[in-house]
Structure 1
Amino acid sequence: MAGEIIVRPIGEDERAAWNPLWDSYLAFYKTALTQDVSDLAWSRFHDPDETMFALGGYVDGRLAGFAHYLFHRSTWAPKRYCYLEDLFVADSARGHGLGRALIEAVYQKAEAAGASRVYWLTQSSNEQARALYDKVADNLGFIQYRKVI
């Protein structure tokens, strides 16, 4: 699937196009969310008082990927950080630069917002994505610990 790539904010009226991508992303990570959690995320993307955003990657006018990102303060820096929380490209659109275009668009948004860094997490076994990530950012070798409460 080669074609014109455009990255722009996902419109509030594009939920039907976003839903299957979101479902595929959650399935990739072998997780499920309740509908109210997905609804809340969607509403946050379009709430001007939130610092959470959704960019869409469009190939020939069709939504084929997304990047969800947010800004937060840090104890380590005077400027905010940008966390790229979710990045997904549909199987049919992979290998044509859409993932890189989405990451680069987040970099631009972070710079425009005065953030000092963009960072994200991925599974160590996500080799396809890591091949791209190793080209566009530095792997600092951190391990994530988590306790669900």
Structure 2
Amino acid sequence: MTEIHALSESDRDEWLPLWRGYLVFYEEELSDRQTSLTFERLTDPDYPVHGAIARDASGRAIGFVHWLTHTSTWAEGPYCYLEDLFVAPDVRGGGVGRALIATVTEWAGEAGCSQVYWLTQSHNAAARVLYDKVATDTGFVHYSVDLTRE
């Protein structure tokens, strides 16, 4: 059985390898400083970004989800952006990703959000099988301008 709870300082050592696995999956590199800052933000109750960690029946950390909200010009309530979702490779397909998404959608509903949305790479076929079951593909294409790189 999967248990999900809000990230806390005591989760850092088990969250970190999952975070690193997530970055490897997306072929990204972040500095140790940024990783520490990210975790500090996720566990700071006064910071407007949230995180949860999933554990299996033995208590092993097997996944995480991070999200935040923002106002929208298209809705009265805020939107909830599910920014990061990762499940350990050895337990994928077992309902952990679905449970993590459900955690966010439940939280967002209680927070008065109008919608939950996320992005994924078009070639992330395994994840998209789940996403197509729990959400609607809006057909939007994502563009980005990176202001931090020269």
Q: Distance in 1 between matches of 2:35 and 2:110?
A: 27
Identical-residue share of aligned pairs (%): 47
Deviations 1:3-23 (A, max 9, x none): x11111122111110010000
Instruction: Please list every run of at least 4 consecutive aligned residues from structure 1 whose deviation after the TM superposition is greater than 6 angstroms.
Output: none
Amino acid at match of 1:15: R
Equivalent residues, number: 146
Match of 2:40 in 1: 43
1:147, CA displacement in angstroms?
1.2
- The 5-angstrom pairing of residues 114-129 of structure 1 reads 114-129=112-127
Match of 2:90 in 1: 92
User: Residue 66 of structure 1: SS of its match in structure 2?
Assistant: strand
RMSD across aligned C-alpha pairs, in angstroms?
0.8
Q: Distance in 2 between matches of 1:15 and 1:46?
A: 9
TM-score normalized by the length of structure 1 = 0.95
Q: Distance in 2 between matches of 1:35 and 1:50?
A: 20
Match of 1:145 in 2: 143
TM-score normalized by the length of structure 2 = 0.95
Which ranges in structure 1 are unaligned for 5 or more consecutive residues? Answer: none
User: Residue 127 of structure 2: SS of its match in structure 1?
Assistant: helix
Which ranges in structure 2 are unaligned for 5 or more consecutive residues? Answer: none
